[in-house]
Every structure is written in C-alpha cells, then in structure tokens.
Amino acid sequence: MKTVFITGGTSGIGWALAQRYLSAGYRVGIGSRTPDKEGHDFTPYTHLFVYSVDATDLTALKDTIHTFSQGQLDILIAGAGNYTDSALEHISWQETNAMIDNNIKATLNALEVARELMQNKGGTIACIASISTFLDYEEATIYTRCKQAVLAITKAYRRAYRDKGIEVIAIHPGYVATPRLMELNSDDLSKKQYVITPTEAAEIIYHGITQGKQLIVFPKKMYRLIRCLQLLPKGILQRIMHKKAKWQKQN
Ligand SMILES: NC(=O)c1ccc[n+]([C@@H]2O[C@H](COP(=O)([O-])OP(=O)(O)OC[C@H]3O[C@@H](n4cnc5c(N)ncnc54)[C@H](OP(=O)(O)O)[C@@H]3O)[C@@H](O)[C@H]2O)c1
C-alpha cells in the first residue's frame, strides 16, 4: 500500500488532500498542532493516522513521520502554513515570526525529513506555496514574501535532491474556500477572484503530483491574469495593487 504524509493535513486544503489520497487507496498520515480544531470525524477511515505535531520542530516532525511511515514513504506534502490579513501597515514582529516559522521553517523541516526517508529509495515531496508568489510588486505582503522564499527553497532543493531520486514539487494555489480563508474574510469571498473549493484544489494537486509535474499552479485563469499583470510597468502594477488592497479593505 502506498503512503503519504501531509503536514497541515487536518484542515482546509490538507484535509481535502487526505480524503483524496484515502479514496485512491493510500495509507495516509496527517499532522498539525491541534488536529481536532475543525471538528472532523477521523474515525471512519481505517487507513488514516492522525498526529499532533508542530512542523517547526524538526525532531518532533522526524519522529512523527518515521513512526507513521515505518521507513517507507512515497509522498510527503508540506502543507502546514499560516496566513493572516496582513496589510503592510499592520506588520508586526509576532505575525512575521509566525509566518517565517510556519511557512518557511516548516517546509525546510519537511524537506529534511524527505531526504532522510526517501534518499536512494525514491519519493516525492510537494511543498505548498501560493499563486501570489508570481506577482512581484513593491507592497506585496509578508505572507507572499514568505511563500516566495518557499518557492526559492523548493527550486534549490529540486536540484540538490535530483541525484537522490527525490522529486521536489511546488504547489501554488489561488483562492481556495477553506474555513481559514472564510474566517479571514468574514465568510464573504465575493471580492476574491476565481475561488475554488478545497475538494477541487485537492483533485488538481492529486493529479499534478501523480503526473510528476514540477510546478502545480491553479486556477489557470488566475495564473494567466497574474502573468498579464506582471508584464505591466512596475509603477502601474503597484498602483493597481494598492487600489485593489484599499478597495477590499473599504468594501
Ligand atoms: N486557502 C487558500 O486560499 C490558500 C491559497 C494559497 C496558498 N494556501 C496555502 O495552503 C496551505 C493550506 O491552507 P488552508 O487555507 O487550507 O489553511 P488552514 O485550513 O489553516 O490549514 C493550514 C494547516 O496547517 C497547520 N499548521 C500551521 N502551522 C503548523 C505548524 N507549525 N505545524 C503543524 N501544522 C501547522 C494548521 O493546523 P494547526 O494550526 O492546528 O497547527 C492547519 O491544519 C497553507 O500553506 C496556505 O498558506 C492557501
């Protein structure tokens, strides 16, 4: 039986992915700091293993994934992540520190666990960044900057892990209507473009990983829009993004 471990797999995109892999016949491990936060009923799933683990703690993450995999792991999905409604003027040390830890350090730790478990055996590690990484402008949020770091690290590790037989994949979702995104937007996602459900996101990610894609970016319409915006002169792009952020805040 094939195995997958998903950090941050107890809610949102991670939980939808866990369900997708269970339905495909995988043995699935999921871990987060508070697994019962969303109130999901994990008991009906015979091949699901749920762990309480902080992905920023390398030793704890290693122990957890070793216990789950018993030396055989096919896929590791680094999905643990943290985001807030972080307009630049509200930047704080606490928020930035949490973003760096939960997005960057947690990904780096997952890459290290993948090396230990997969080198010379083969395997895949998929790291969740964000579609916002492709829109580079002056006032991008700390969250986007962290996810750009995740993308940069993923690219460097892809080259380094190639000889070890480990595939490194970067995943860039657009807006996905997870409970966390809903909470941050007071349950109103009407101002967000091209929103999809966690189940739709999981389907795209599952097939992307199965096909061995290095880069999984969705929804395509959003990606096209971003690539067009990125062609604009920097000053114009900055003005558009500034106006958009203000409009979203006021309405
Ligand atoms: N939803 C979107 O629109 C969207 C768009 C682009 C990218 N993303 C990315 O997709 C991923 C999932 O997002 P989501 O919307 O599904 O959010 P979510 O429901 O809040 O899921 C994030 C998961 O990560 C876990 N987590 C956070 N820090 C952790 C840590 N230090 N150790 C272990 N687990 C940790 C959380 O659980 P605990 O808090 O209990 O630990 C939670 O299970 C994130 O990386 C996010 O940045 C989301």
Indicate the top mutation candidate among 11, 65, 226 to test ligand 1's pocket, ranked by most ligand atoms within 8 A of CB.
11
83-99: per-residue pLDDT in tens? 886 665 678 899 899 99
**DSSP per-residue letters across the chain:** --EEEEETTTSHHHHHHHHHHHHTT-EEEEEESSTTTT----TT-TTEEEEE--TT-HHHHHHHHHHHHTT--SEEEE---------GGG--HHHHHHHIIIIIIHHHHHHHHHHHHHTTT-EEEEEE--GGGG---TT--HHHHHHHHHHHHHHHHHHHHHTTTEEEEEEEE--B--HHHHHHTTT--TTSSS-B-HHHHHHHHHHHHHTT-SEEEE-HHHHHHHHHHTTS-HHHHHHHHHHHHHHHHH-
179 CA: nearest ligand 1 atom: 19
pLDDT in tens, 49-86: 999 999 999 999 999 999 999 989 999 999 999 988 66
**Measured from the CB, is residue 14 less than 6 Å from ligand 1?**
yes
Cα of 133 to ligand 1 centre, how many Å? 16
CATH 3.40.50.720 fits 3-250, yes or no: yes
Ranges of residues in the chain with a pLDDT under 70 are: 85-89, 248-251
